[in-house]
Chain A
Amino acid sequence: MSAPTYARPTSPDEAVSAVADDPNAVFLAGGSNLVDHLKLGIVAPSALVSVADLGLDEITEQDGGLRVGARVRNSDLASDPQVRQRYSVLSRALLSGASAQIRHQATTAGNLLQRTRCVYFQDRTVPCNKREPGSGCPAIEGYGRYNAVLGASDRCVAVHPSDMAVAMLALDAQVGVLGAGGARSLPIAELHRLPGDDPSRDTALEHGDLITHVDLPAQPEGARSDYVKVRDRASYAFALVSVAASLTVDDDGTVTDVRVAWGGMAHKPWRATLLEDAMAGGSVTAENVRTACARELEQASTSQQTAYKLPMVTEATAMLLTKLAAGEGVDR
């Protein structure tokens, strides 16, 4: 690989132009994922456009919620007093991700745009439709414990690795984007895409689009939220499955608002809308949650290696929602 050029623009507009004008240019944020990909030889950009001097690194009050700048560090976001108090699911999800060193390095936008850790994607000596469209997918028949069970296609079974994005999905976050055509905003549910017949595209963004911020809207009065991550070891590992949930119940224990998102299940953070519909207006018992999960999981497709994910995500969801309903903390 020849060395890429390096530019360090001082305004978001300049940064967008620098990437949009060169089809092989990429933004460089914290770098914890991109630098690894440069070393592995799975990306070879012509230009690195650093976002280091763009600002965009503050957390501010916005319409009763919070606006999180694209360059806010994962550790700063997780530790922010407002986030800890009002969006605990987000704080806990961030703290479950990677290690303290990487959380100091990783940024909000970079975390959203990190790529799958599917072992075939990260090994340039084997085919991968996400890396080289049309080359094939050895993951479908190969090592597959981490594979997707929802929304996968015959082209790709990779899962999205972010914990943070799963929590933001449960919070109905909005993503601010600056592109060649100006600024726009989209719901985080529309940011990541399913693989379909082009798994090389992770998101709905166009080349040159710069994520500038994420808006966290005000949450329902009395909502309680938390994040549970199930993994092979106690810390510093990607999720086998994870659950982000926010729950509001009235005095009788009836569900007035429930949002559930799953990680480790699909090519994108998965909003469990069928589960939410099944829970709405009911009471939160473990049995009710299991029934609601079954509704959501009717659309799942598993292999022998991934069948374990269905009972695992069901029990993690039941545990989390019943604890939230009871006003209890999750055992950690």
Chain B
Amino acid sequence: MTTQVTLQVDGAARTVDIDVRTTLLDALRERLGETSPKKGCDHGQCGACTVLLDGRRHLTCLSLAIDHDGAEITTAAGLADGERLHEVQEAFVERDALQCGYCTPGQVCSVVGMLAEVRAGQPSYVSPDLSAAPELGEAEVRERLSGNLCRCGAYVNICAAALDVADADVDPVTEEVAG
């Protein structure tokens, strides 16, 4: 059974004919040429295929495209404003959190989604008090980003990059100090 779906990818409507079994990841990469989301494990274990789907970080390898007709998808490539990088991308460059770069688009999308979740007051498993607003430290960042694996082991720098942006979020002065 072939069907047509339309995906809003990085602000542009893209229509594609797909098989029912086509994942969002394969629709994006193989059919629409959007190579920012990466195919890593293809089983939901590594996070390299992470995008923002209707505003939330989401795996594209475990989602059927047909079930997300009309969805709004932001890939890491779409986070930049032309030549101007997103603040999370800037922080990754600043902190050298890229390493080989393969998992990086998923990591970047995941950090953007994670910071929005923290701003919305959502707790994590390691938050000491479920009812309080979460305070983002290294333990929180590690737990919240645990769905993204980096085989180069750039975690320390990814944590630092995420915390740089989080600190800038609440207190611009901290950014100057950190910088």
Chain A residues engaging chain B, CB cutoff 8 angstroms: 3-6, 28, 31-32, 35-36, 38-39, 48, 50, 52, 75, 78-79, 81, 84-85, 88, 91-92, 95-96, 98-102, 104-105, 229, 234-236, 329, 332
Most A Cβ at <10 Å: residue of B67, B113, B131, B142: B67
Check A75 against B122 for contact (C-beta < 8 Å): yes
Size of interface on B: residues with Cβ below 8 Å to A: 42
Check A332 against B126 for contact (C-beta < 8 Å): yes
In this assembly, does B105 line the interface, its C-beta being within 8 Å of a C-beta of chain A? no
B 135-149 to A, binary, CB cutoff 8 A, 1 in contact else 0: 000000011101110
Interface stretch of the complex, out of B42-50, B88-96, B157-165: B42-50
Q: Given known contacts A35-B23, A101-B147, is B59 in contact with A50 (CB within 8 Å)? A: no
Q: Which listed residue (A48, A78, A98, A104) contacts B20, Cβ 8 A? A: A48
Q: Which listed residue (A39, A95, A102, A235) contacts B59, Cβ 8 A? A: A102
Check A6 against B66 for contact (C-beta < 8 Å): yes
Q: Given known contacts A75-B122, A91-B123, A332-B128, is B114 in contact with A3 (CB within 8 Å)? A: no
Q: Which residues of B contact A4 (CB under 8 A)?
A: 1, 20-21
Check A32 against B44 for contact (C-beta < 8 Å): yes
Check A105 against B146 for contact (C-beta < 8 Å): no
Check B42 against A101 for contact (C-beta < 8 Å): no
Q: Which listed residue (A35, A39, A95) contacts B124, Cβ 8 A? A: A95
Check B143 against A235 for contact (C-beta < 8 Å): yes
Q: Which listed residue (A85, A99, A105) contacts B63, Cβ 8 A? A: A105
Name B44-61 residues within 8 Å CB distance of A: 44, 47, 50, 53, 56-59
Chain B residues engaging chain A, CB cutoff 8 angstroms: 1, 3, 19-21, 23, 42-44, 47, 50, 53, 56-59, 62-64, 66-67, 110, 113-114, 117, 120-126, 128-131, 142-144, 146-148
Q: Which residues of A contact B122 (CB under 8 A)?
A: 75, 78-79
Q: Given known contacts A3-B20, A28-B64, A105-B63, is B125 in contact with A79 (CB within 8 Å)? A: no
Distance A31 CA – B144 CA, assembled complex (angstroms): 21
Minimum CB distance partner of B45 in chain A: A236
Check B20 against A105 for contact (C-beta < 8 Å): no
Q: Could you name 26 residue pairs across A and B whose Cβ atoms are closer than 8 Å?
A: A3-B19, A6-B20, A32-B62, A35-B63, A36-B43, A48-B20, A48-B64, A50-B67, A75-B122, A79-B120, A85-B131, A92-B125, A92-B130, A95-B124, A95-B125, A99-B47, A99-B146, A100-B113, A100-B117, A102-B44, A105-B59, A234-B142, A235-B142, A235-B143, A236-B147, A329-B129
Distance A99 CA – B42 CA, assembled complex (angstroms): 15
Q: A85-B130, A105-B58, A235-B125 are in contact. List 17 more A-B contacts (CB 8 A).
A: A3-B20, A5-B20, A6-B3, A6-B66, A6-B67, A28-B64, A32-B59, A52-B67, A79-B123, A84-B123, A100-B117, A101-B47, A101-B58, A101-B110, A101-B113, A102-B62, A235-B146
Check B44 against A3 for contact (C-beta < 8 Å): no
Most B Cβ at <10 Å: residue of A3, A85, A99: A99
Q: Which residues of B contact A102 (CB under 8 A)?
A: 44, 59, 62, 147
Check B123 against A100 for contact (C-beta < 8 Å): no
Q: Which residues of A contact B53 (CB under 8 A)?
A: 104
Q: Which listed residue (B20, B44, B113, B147) contacts A36, Cβ 8 A? A: B44
Minimum CB distance partner of A87 in chain B: B130
Check B147 against A99 for contact (C-beta < 8 Å): yes
Q: Given known contacts A3-B1, A36-B44, A101-B47, is B128 in contact with A329 (CB within 8 Å)? A: yes
Check B146 against A236 for contact (C-beta < 8 Å): yes
Check B130 against A88 for contact (C-beta < 8 Å): yes
Distance A48 CA – B64 CA, assembled complex (angstroms): 11
